[in-house]
Amino acid sequence: MNMKDVKSIGARISAGGKTKPGIDATAIRELAELLTETGLTEIEIEQGGMRLRVARQPSGQVVAAAPILASPAMHEPQPAPKGPQAGAITSPMVGTVYVAPEPGKPPFIKVGDRVQEGDTLMIVEAMKTMNPILSPRSGTIAEVCVRDAEPVEFGQTLLVIS
């Protein structure tokens, strides 16, 4: 089965078949056959505002979902996710953040402090290893976005340098 065959199946989905309006049993059978031929676990095609999804269960059984009318919201471009704000320093790994060199000591930085490129800003502990977070540039600490001993995710904003 080639791409031309898949397109003809898509055309039959929007035209409908004899079993139910909008559903062509032959198209479902052909897509199930295509799953077997290619070793894929799922196929979804959309044509004329109708969508058909055929998926193979872990047991090998093929299941077809009824065509769904595509809503206009499905086709609207989603706004691009905002990245970190300007000057944000993000966590390079998952771990626990520490704002001081050791418990009871003053923090490395606080809002309003001037930092130089290469200064230690915080520490992220990951797998029992202490990883210093160094300032990539000189500037003033505008915001600290985490608290001491707080878990952080990869890419999470730790602080902002202006």
- Tens digit of pLDDT for each residue in 53-93? 777 766 555 555 555 555 555 555 656 556 668 889 999 99
What is the Cα–Cα distance from 153 to 22, expressed in whole angstroms?
Answer: 45
Query: To which H or E segment does residue 123 belong?
Result: strand 120-126
- pLDDT for res 68: 52
Q: Which two tokens stand for residue 42?
A: 């799922």
- pLDDT for res 136: 94
105 pLDDT tier (thresholds 50, 70, 90): very high
* Residues 131-136, mean pLDDT to the nearest whole number: 95
Q: Which two tokens stand for residue 103?
A: 């418990």
Q: Which two tokens stand for residue 29?
A: 């059978």
- 158 by Cβ neighbours in 10 Å (0-12 / 13-18 / 19+) ranks as buried
Nearest alpha-carbon partner for 152 in 113, 99, 81, 82: 99
Which residues face 140 on adjacent strands?
A: 114
Q: Which amino acid is at 64?
A: A
- pLDDT for res 160: 95
What is the Cα–Cα distance from 44 to 153, expressed in whole angstroms?
Answer: 33
Give yes or no for a contact between 92 and 125, defined as CB atoms under 8 angstroms apart. Answer: no
Task: Assign 122 to helix, strand or coil.
Answer: strand
- pLDDT for res 17: 47
Q: Return the minimum-mean-pLDDT range out of 57-61, 95-99, 119-123, 147-151.
A: 57-61
* Residues 4-18, mean pLDDT to the nearest whole number: 55
Residues of the chain with CATH 2.40.50.100: 88-161
In this structure, CATH architecture of domain 88-161 = Beta Barrel (2.40)
* Residues 105-124, mean pLDDT to the nearest whole number: 95
Q: Which amino acid is at 24?
A: D
The phi, psi pair for 41, rounded to 5°, reads: -105, -15
- pLDDT for res 12: 57
What is the Cα–Cα distance from 103 to 80, expressed in whole angstroms?
Answer: 40
Tens of pLDDT along 34-50? 777 777 777 777 766 67
